[in-house]
Amino acid sequence: DTEVTQTPKHLVMGMTNKKSLKCEQHMGHRAMYWYKQKAKKPPELMFVYSYEKLSINESVPSRFSPECPNSSLLNLHLHALQPEDSALYLCASSQDRYLEVRDGYTFGSGTRLTVV
């Protein structure tokens, strides 16, 4: 299995809703990432998990709450989002060899989130 699977593919939520995005990989990768991508922009790093521990939080608002229940799963819990949070949310994973991401990431196909 060489894929990162993200669910759901599309999500529409109201500003008072609570929802979760899910990401799963079975490649034995020990680093997992959440990125946010707005239209016609590069991905922006949100969170990095390494060996199931949060290692980077890029000053993301608390309405986004990540969780890594085990080495294969990564969740992003959403609560009280704003319309400007509408974007493509990408999950990625990589081998955690020392500090350098030498082999690059494997990305999922993303969840397209619309906040109404």
* Residues in touch with another protein (CB under 8 A): 4, 6, 31, 33, 40-43, 45, 48, 50, 55-56, 90, 92, 96, 98-110
67/107 with CB nearer another protein: 107
51/82 with CB nearer another protein: 51
* CB 58 to another protein: min, Å: 9
| CB atoms near residue 91 (< 10 Å) | 26
* CB 90 to another protein: min, Å: 5
Q: What is the DSSP string of 73-98?
A: EEEEEEES--GGG-EEEEEEEE---T
Taking the C-alpha atoms of residue 25 and residue 80, their distance in angstroms, rounded to an integer, is 28
Taking the C-alpha atoms of residue 2 and residue 13, their distance in angstroms, rounded to an integer, is 30
At 72, phi and psi to the nearest 5?
Answer: -105, -15
33/64 with CB nearer another protein: 33
Tokens describing residue 49: 């998990």
Omega before 8 cis (within 30°)? yes
* CB 41 to another protein: min, Å: 7
* CB 21 to another protein: min, Å: 13
52/96 with CB nearer another protein: 96
